[in-house]
Amino acid sequence: MKISILLPYKENFSPQYPGAVSLFINDTSKESRYIKHIKVYGSTEYKKIFNIKYQNIELKKLIVGSQTKLYINKFIEFERKDPSSLIEIHNRPIYLKYLLERLNRRTYSIFFHNDPLSMEGSKSITDRNFLLENSYKIIFNSHWSKNRFLENLDNKHINSEKLRVFF
């Protein structure tokens, strides 16, 4: 079993200027019984990284094109060489759409660290229904962010086992 954790592409997985997502992953992974099976993927320019298996995704500045798609495509290359059982996507719900187009037969979990209604891939009801249909779990850092995700969705999702809060 392999668990791949995909960071937002601008997130530093380093003790030097870490983002909140990196701190969360570092702290929770250390407590996980699956720590030996976890590999974090991200793009950082810092040499020193947290003490967890890590694969840096080298990115060059693009003049034209999508940095997000380039980042996802490079992750997909790694994923095809060494497939995961579970892919955790942190704070970038739009990544799921791109990954499903090219990597089916994976289990996906989405983590929200911020307001879901402000992120590409979860702003609309259609986006959030897509996430519900294609994710194994959707995890929030607060009840507030979970409630934001549920805004204007059918009431059947309110008590869904798929939706969890991890403080």
Question: What span, in angstroms and rounded, lies between the C-alpha atoms of 164 and 28?
Answer: 15
pLDDT of residue 62: 67
The structure tokens 């009840």 sit at 143
Nearest to 72 by CA among 46, 105, 53, 97: 97
Copy the structure tokens of residue 79: 């994923």
- Three-state DSSP state, 112: strand
Q: Write down the number of H helices and E strands in the chain.
A: 5, 7
Measured CA distances, 160 to 30, 138, 146 (Å): 28, 10, 11
Nearest to 95 by CA among 127, 68, 130: 68
157: pLDDT confidence band, cut at 50, 70 and 90? confident
Q: What is the pLDDT of residues 133-149, one digit of tens each?
A: 999 999 999 999 999 99
Q: What is the pLDDT of residues 7-16, one digit of tens each?
A: 998 899 999 8
pLDDT of residue 45: 81
Sheet strands (E) in 17-149: 38-42, 54-56, 86-90, 107-112, 137-140
Copy the structure tokens of residue 89: 């996507």
Mean pLDDT of the chain: 93
- For residue 162, pLDDT over 70 is answered with yes
Q: What is the pLDDT of residues 35-70, one digit of tens each?
A: 999 999 999 888 899 999 999 998 877 666 678 889
Q: What is the pLDDT of residues 94-137, one digit of tens each?
A: 999 999 999 878 999 999 999 999 999 999 999 999 999 999 99
Domains and CATH numbers, the chain: 3-165 (3.40.50.11930)
Copy the structure tokens of residue 7: 């960071």
The structure tokens 């989405």 sit at 110
How do beta strands 137-140 and 3-6 pair?
unpaired
